[in-house]
Amino acid sequence: MKNLSLLLLSVLIFSCSFSQSIITKDPEIEKMVSEVNADSLKSYITRLVSFGTRNTLSTQKDPNRGIGAARIWVLNKFNEFSKQAGGKLSAFIDTTTLQPDGRRVDSVLLLGNVVARLKGSNPNDDRIFIISGHLDNMRTNVMDRVNDAPGAKEKKPNEQRH
């Protein structure tokens, strides 16, 4: 009888550990997510691919190619959004200087992350929503700052994904 009780108790504990969790979704966040336009996202990715490479070591001075051009494009895109948000959104490039490490970085490098902050309209709402994206990419050779590393590619009509 003792073994049967122990077995039943074990089954009960095991089944409770795999019980379903109920997730309550915030309706405001659900509304925001539903307003995301897939075509807009695709056009942003296509634009980022057009910079050829976004390797961290790539050029920061060319207005049409490299991480610097991509970073400025993202900043300008956020500034467009700011106009649509009535100035509640502010954007800037947060920079830091990275010293050579002999492995991934071979010269002093100015790193920059585009940051945007959108203030809410309710002064009593202290929630913070963080949305993050990764702008840079690399080739197999992390020191290759010249060759294309687009980070994405267009799927051709007859091409299969792996």
Q: By residue range, what is the domain housing residue 38?
A: 26-118
Of 12-16, 41-45, 138-142, which gets the smallest average pLDDT? 12-16
Residue 5 has a pLDDT of 57
41 within a domain of the structure (yes/no): yes
| pLDDT tens profile 63-115 | 999 999 999 999 999 999 889 888 888 999 999 999 999 888 899 999 999 99
For the range 138-141, what are the long-range contacts, defined as Cβ-Cβ under 8 Å and sequence gap of 24 or more? 138/55, 138/56, 139/53, 139/55
Total domains, the chain = 1
Check whether 158 has a pLDDT greater than 90: no
96 within a domain of the structure (yes/no): yes
Estimate to the nearest angstrom the gap between the alpha carbon of 27 and the chain centroid. 23
106 within a domain of the structure (yes/no): yes
Check whether 9 has a pLDDT greater than 60: no
66 within a domain of the structure (yes/no): yes
Residue 22 has a pLDDT of 78
| pLDDT tens profile 28-59 | 888 888 888 989 889 999 999 999 999 989 99
